[in-house]
Structure 1
């Protein structure tokens, strides 16, 4: 399924919302553009939403890394020079529903532009055989853990045997698009495209992908022609003659202070702990280790029963999304439980913070596509002193040393995000064993 392929980090609640086109929260908003009756307007929006392709950049503008917020553009009826822009976000508690942040009326110049191939995700821009081509790239690149350590069941599926590499290429391509670094050239009268993967071969050369036009009547305008390094591989002659053996790499970090933990020397360390919003630490409870959740539920039979039922469900069905929602709502309503979970993550944060300030290299940066900024990944240990369970995403408040927690990620999600910027050492807490070395 394209939705699952393109948004590898999409949480299950939001996945269900996008698939099911759930507009129940959106339609409750009282704000509508001038000239519309509310009921007529929301019927119009609902119809446009049902019929739209969420990956058509003419209609959608995703601006959060986990695709939890976007702008939905609709032509204004009988006013072709204007569009209605709806800023939508995921509800903090009812995460399988949408809510409306804002409505704006804009000139239709942007919507009227022809859909450009430069706005397409990699899988719709070019045809690649992920079984064969990913294996070829992994073969000539320096050895890395391109298979997940945390999801061994994926190895049984050939499509996911290089799931990390696939994610890396998709996101690198996305950044190159933003920077206009997908390079076009002509060789012997035929058009080609090329981009720098950012990977290094076993003989220390940059690895490039070369594309030529796809066959007629195909979905993607391009197909992979070859994987090469300067002087080696299929397409190396084209790389040399048409691209002069080089296309630029993606750049994610412009201010390296953003990628470094900076503390205020005039304040005690314990006063600089990142702050955590009550919403965020429960918003993705499905990412927490089951044994930690069970531990916090030990004195609440009803909550334990809800969670036990969750554990018995098939993850591929929509039923589990509704059950997670019901479970989270129960936790949010039950003050004692909510405080227990909050105390658990605050304790884990304080414990990790003590070691991070002594070993700041344990921090891993990630790039937030929505905010176009670098965030930091902090290891969290929730149920064992050495075992890293989650990564806390933190970012500094503008103009200060104070950090705040944005969300939590599974280690696999965090690895994919961190690897996009640079390779991780074999003993890094995101790549090596699940233990965090405290010595």
Structure 2
């Protein structure tokens, strides 16, 4: 039987519905992915009670990430820095993509409420879109949805239950928001950058705010000169705390003069004539934000993983037992 999907609002609809946190009010879906759905462990079984729930949750999530990485076209999802998180870049990508889909009300649900699906934004090696497929969880006092699996757009269950495939998350409303306009004036939030985030600067500048400001101004002037000759140097991104702020970019900052980026400046459009430099991010944080919009094609921003959001930090100790679907 074919079911209809919920209404998918346009970017203009989304922009009109502001919330005090990171975006518009959603249709009730949990914005944390592992609160939205239960992800079961399907690997080798241990004796009942021999594995703690938190460990089962960790194994289940690692298994879930590995399955998606295997289905998707090849991409660097690991990190050059040691981490206990499996596939940390993919981990962050999935969590933030889900959050954006919830903001845009793009979680597709069948008319009978039995199935849900979401677009991961990834493709298989044969360019089929990849979706997360979920079934209503039969277990009470648990997540509303039970994860069935990652499926390609030709999957029989997806086609059987949804008239149209779920839509991708969108981070811009026009192509112009993907290119930095060097003719606009750039204003910096110095108090926030040098006051609240001075600890992100190189160690030798942390205790010397005046030196840090001089290095910041010099780095920005150098980057702006280069941007006029290579617009790809400034990368489009999506920063959750800015919500629907319009065009958002990451600008490399070479603060030490060694020819490599030390931090990235978060820039967003304000009106039609100016940009505002909101804050500075470490390069791992910057890569996470940029990868949501597109795979970065830049020499200065290599694959690296940022810490996961606080809302998602803990493995789901309270996850309900898997149910057969």
TM-score by structure 1 length?
0.55
* Alpha-carbon distance between aligned partners in 1 of 2:64 and 2:147, rounded to the nearest angstrom: 8
State the partner residue of 1:63: 21
Q: Where does the alignment leave 5 or more consecutive residues of structure 2 unmatched? A: 1-18, 40-59, 305-325
For the aligned residue pairs, the C-alpha RMSD in angstroms reads 2.5
Matches within 5 A, 1:306-325: none
Larger Rg: 1
Partner of 2:192: 280
**Quick one: which of 239, 246, 249 aligns to 1:376?**
249
Distance 1:221 1:348, change over 3 A: same
After TM superposition, give the deviation of residue 367 of structure 1 in Å: 2.2
- Equivalents in 2 of 1:221, 1:184: separation in Å? 12
1:191 aligns with 2:114: yes
> 1:407 aligned to 2:292?
no
Give the SS at the match of 2:258: coil
Deviating runs (4+, > 4 A) in structure 1? none
Q: Could you say which structure has the greater relative contact order, defined with CA pairs below 8 angstroms and 6 or more residues apart?
A: 2
Q: For residues 284 and 346 of structure 1, what CA distance do their matches in structure 2 show? A: 16
Determine whether 1:392 maps to 2:265: yes
How far apart, CA to CA, are the structure 2 residues paired with 1:184 and 1:382?
48
Hey, what does 1:139 align to over in structure 2?
A: 70
Matching of residues 51-200 of structure 1 within 5 Å: 62-64=20-22, 117-128=28-39, 129-149=60-80, 152-154=81-83, 157=84, 160-185=85-110, 191-200=114-123
Deviations 1:324-360 (A, max 9, x none): xxxxxxxxxxxxx432221111111112222122111
| Structure 1 counterpart of 2:219 | 348
TM-superposed CA distance for 1:178, in Å, is: 2.2
Higher alpha-carbon deviation: 203-212 or 239-248: 239-248
In the alignment, structure 1 segments of 5+ residues that lack a partner are: 1-60, 66-109, 265-271, 298-336, 434-439
In structure 1, what is the equivalent of residue 238 of structure 2?
Answer: 367
TM superposition shift of 1:424:
1.9
Instruction: Assess if the C-alpha contact under 8 Å between 1:64 and 1:368 holds in 2.
Output: no
Residues 220-369 of structure 1 correspond to what in structure 2 (within 5 A)? Answer: 220-231=143-154, 236-244=155-163, 246-264=165-183, 274-282=186-194, 283-290=196-203, 292-293=204-205, 297=207, 337-369=208-240
Question: TM-score of the superposition, structure 2-length normalised?
Answer: 0.73
1:116 and 1:179 map into 2 onto residues whose CA distance is 9
Aligned residues of 2:31 and 2:98 also touching (Cα < 8 A): no
